[in-house]
Amino acid sequence: MPAKLRRFISAITVLGAVLLASTHWGWAESPPNGARDVKIAVLAYRGEQEALEKWLPTADYLAQRVPGRTFHILPLTLVEMQQAVQSEAVDFILTNPGNYVEHEAAHGVTRIATIRPRMHQTTDTLGATIFTRNEANGIETIEDLKGKRFMAVRENAFGGFQMAWREMKAHGLNPFEDLVSLMFVGFPQDKVVEGVLSGGADAGTCRVGVLENLAQDGKIKLSDLRILNPQEEPGFPYALSTRLYPEWPFAKLKHTPEMLSQQVVIALLGMPTDHPAAVAGGYSGWTVPLDYQPVHELFKELHIGPYDLPVDIRLSDLLDQYWQWGVFVGVLMGIAILWVVRVEHLVAKRTAELSRANAELETQIFERKRAEEVASRRQNELAHVSRVNTMGELTASLAHEINQPLAAIANYATGSVRRLSLNTISPSDLHEVMATIAAEADRAAQVIRRVRDFVRKGEVSLEPLNINAIAREALEITHAEAERQQIELGHDFREPLPPVIADKVQVEQVLLNLIGNAMEALHDVDKLPKSITVTTDQGDRDDQGQVICAVRDNGVGLSQGAQERLFEPFYSTKPDGMGMGLSISRSIVEASGGRMWVEVDGDDNTVFKFSLPCAAVNHDTTGRRHGT
């Protein structure tokens, strides 16, 4: 039997076997997964060791957030990933978008979250870099690669070849026909870079970020390479040669329990951006699963993955060459046609499912945005209530502060009336008395106006502010109450300081809350003198471009447990406290782009600090400190 016919019959036989097996899809049920161990397969595109170092902290984080479960990381290649998913040897996978789409179509894998890499500017997208040596080799564009040697990771590697393949096709280049040599060297992708630099290939491709990581590790110099087809994407920090696609998805297999999947996705979406697991993994948390339609478009254009349909075969040519096998081939072709119809049906069904999933995702995103807007309004209302409560606590002190100018006005007026009755006051003396009365009246009006501005409810207005001026106003509001409690109020302001970007009323609210808490901490302290000090300073190396304000008291201090939970909502160290003041204060500071924390100094004094961003970074930092 001729070799060409044997290959054709073998291909048709495989198609028939797949079609026969497809009739049993859905019959077998996945075994229940009640084990405590949860296995996460991770595509190790830069080797097993780096994958373990990068993702083991994430497994530990999930183990802490999902009770009764132990999470394991399995670094796998593309082939090993295929085997693990097919045999249901793992519960979740974390892989590139192309590999995910293949598993989604073939094995019903479902994405539950998308990673957000840690870059100069957070992004949810990735691409590929096509590069050559930075020398006079006649390669300036993708079209110049024709007749050259090209190196990539693997034919089915999404970031390691397929994205570059699509760009080559867009420039009229078929990598399987127009290149003199197309070499696939496998993972890690560093091999491609080494091959091009050593002269083993004229050009190559890899996922974005690989070149920059190698340069950061001192293994290569970026100046030794030239990027082909460079793309400019605002905010994207890496050298880019292709279109952008959604980032890696975190997906569950069909047999993975829904309850476990829900617990995992809640834990991932709730991960703080600065969590040690996120830092170790090089990402800034997770987001709801993105739309992977661009990946489907790439697969459709290249006819790979779920869109790898059978190649058209000319039946007339086969009959002319192998007429004696005509009847047999006709039967096999009938089977092939049935297979094509079934594949088209499955593709249409999967596309409809993706459309419904996208519609549901858009609805969820809309509901989430609306919930965030409602939460923001509730936060502003809660902050307003907190300011009103703060004024309520300072009512006695404010009444005393207003009573002083009113009493002075009454005394001067009464004395003036008596002297007028006795005709013992001259016009000049009367003028002086009236000026004093007017000054005292203005003093009382300023107190009332300051209280009215503080408790007003309005929109948040971020503008350049003098933090020292705001701190002085806060001290003026609280000094009467401090005198009543025999507390010394002091300040240590750095002059000059750059203006900060914040809302004046909210920053004043934060300071009043911190000073009020300090007074509460000193209420039952027997030692004298009791003191509270407010300081301002320029941020250090860790807080560049920030101004730091601190409130220090010499009370009994806070326990370690209290320090860890101090900013939690509804947690309070005061018997009658609501536990919302510090939580609201931190929310205000973070909304302005700063942060809030608590320290204990060398004298066991409690120090609350918060930072706010400067309106301008270039300023004089040689100022001297002033204060009492």
Q: For the segment 178-226, what is each residue's pLDDT rounded down to a tens digit?
A: 999 999 999 889 999 999 999 999 999 999 989 998 999 999 999 999 9
Rounded distance between C-alpha atoms, residue 245 and residue 229, angstroms: 17
| Residue of 302, 266, 294 whose CA lies nearest to 354 | 294
Given a cut of 70, whether residue 234 has pLDDT beyond it is yes
Q: Is the dihedral of CA 171, 172, 175, 180 positive or negative?
A: negative
Cβ(28)–Cβ(254) below 8 Å: no
Query: Which of 89-93, 469-473, 583-587, 616-620: highest mean pLDDT?
Result: 89-93
Are the CB atoms for 201 and 179 separated by under 8 Å?
no
Q: What is the pLDDT of residue 23?
A: 35
pLDDT tens digit sequence for 120-142: 445 678 899 999 999 999 999 99
Percent of the chain with pLDDT over 90: 42
Cβ pair 211, 131 in contact under 8 A = yes
Average of per-residue pLDDT across 591-614:
88
- pLDDT bin (cut points 50, 70, 90) of residue 250 is very high
**What Å distances lie between residue 386 and 303, 397, 590, 615, CA to CA?**
61, 18, 17, 27
Asked if the model's pLDDT at residue 144 lies above 80, the reply is yes
| pLDDT in the model for residue 139 | 94
* Right CATH for 3-121+247-365 from 1.20.1050.10, 3.40.30.10, 3.40.190.180, 3.40.50.280: 3.40.190.180
* pLDDT on residue 161: 95
pLDDT above 60 (res 37): yes
CA 321 to chain centre: 63
Measured distance CA(120)–CA(216) in Å, rounded: 14
Provide the pLDDT confidence category of residue 437 given band limits of 50, 70 and 90.
confident
Of 112-116, 433-437, 511-515, 547-551, the least confident: 433-437
Each residue of 226-235: b (16+ CB within 10 Å) or e? bbbbeeeeee
As given in the structure block, the two tokens for residue 311 are: 């190649």
Tell whether the model's pLDDT for residue 245 goes beyond 80. yes
How, if at all, do strands 500-502 and 225-228 pair?
A: unpaired
- The CATH superfamily of 462-627 is Histidine kinase-like ATPase, C-terminal domain (3.30.565.10)
**Res 22 pLDDT > 80:** no
Residue pLDDT, tens place only, 482-536: 888 889 999 999 988 999 998 887 888 789 889 988 888 888 777 778 899 999 9
Beta-carbon contacts of 6 under 8 Å, excluding residues fewer than 6 positions away, are: none
Positive or negative: CA dihedral 311, 314, 315, 319: negative
Place of tokens 């290249």: 302
SS3 content of the chain, % helix, strand, coil (to 5): 50, 20, 30
- Give, rounded to a whole angstrom, the gap between the first and last alpha carbons of the chain: 103
Does the domain made of 128-243 have the CATH classification 3.40.190.10? yes
Q: Do domains 128-243 and 462-627 have the same CATH topology?
A: no
The pLDDT of residue 21 is above 70? no
pLDDT mean over 377-382: 61
pLDDT for position 432: 80
Q: CA–CA separation, 254 vs 499, rounded Å?
A: 56
Query: Cα separation of 139 and 175, whole Å?
Result: 15
620: pLDDT strictly greater than 50: no
Asked if residue 545 lies in contact with residue 614, where contact means CB atoms within 8 angstroms, the answer is yes
Highest average pLDDT, of 66-70, 361-365, 579-583, comes from 66-70
> Which range is most confident: 29-38, 59-68, 444-453?
59-68
29-38: average pLDDT: 58
Q: Which residues contact 521 (CB under 8 A, 6 or more apart)?
A: 553, 555, 556, 606
Percentage of the chain beyond pLDDT 70 is 78
Average pLDDT, stretch 255-261? 94
Rounded to whole angstroms, the Cα distance separating 81 from 577 reads 54
pLDDT for 436 equals 77
Which pLDDT value is given to residue 454?
Answer: 59
Q: How far apart are CA 179 and CA 148, in angstroms?
A: 5
Kindly list the domain boundaries of the chain, sorted by start residue.
Answer: 3-121+247-365, 128-243, 394-457, 462-627
Question: What rounded mean pLDDT belongs to the chain?
Answer: 81
Task: List the structure tokens of 359.
Answer: 């519609």
Confidence at residue 298, expressed as pLDDT on a 0 to 100 scale: 93
Q: How confident is the model at residue 569 (pLDDT cuts 50, 70, 90)?
A: low
